[in-house]
Amino acid sequence: MSFLEKIRSLPEKQRRIIFWIIIIIVAVLLLFFWGRTAQEKFGSFNKESLLEGLNFPDINVPDIPDNDLEEIKQLLEEINNAQKATTTTE
């Protein structure tokens, strides 16, 4: 009698147990090999080459003189005060 015929002659409950044991063993083996491969891939990961490949645009921020910053702060305060005045009168 061959191995498959022996399994076929077993009751259904025992066949299911054997089936799930085989599935679990295969899943553990696949997970093990996937883990080793993923570990090798992450180990050889080069962060610098990835960042170079992204090609972020260059952002040029102009220098603003200090006296202009003070004017901008005053204008923003005036706008804020005017907005507060209009919301309180409504």
pTM of the predicted structure, to 2 decimals: 0.47
The CA angle 49-51-55, to the nearest 5 degrees, is 110
Share of the chain above pLDDT 70, in %: 97
**Statement: residue 29 has pLDDT above 70:** yes
Q: Cα separations (Å) of 85 from 74, 77, 81, 90?
A: 16, 12, 6, 9
Domain locations in the chain?
3-53+63-89
10 within 8 A of 1, measured Cβ to Cβ: no
Q: Cα separations (Å) of 36 from 29, 40, 44?
A: 11, 6, 13
7 within 8 A of 15, measured Cβ to Cβ: yes
**Statement: residue 76 has pLDDT above 70:** yes
Lowest mean pLDDT of 27-31, 39-43, 47-51, 58-62, name the range.
47-51
Q: What is the mean pLDDT of residues 42-70?
A: 77
Specify the 3-state DSSP secondary structure of 51.
helix
Average pLDDT score over the chain: 85
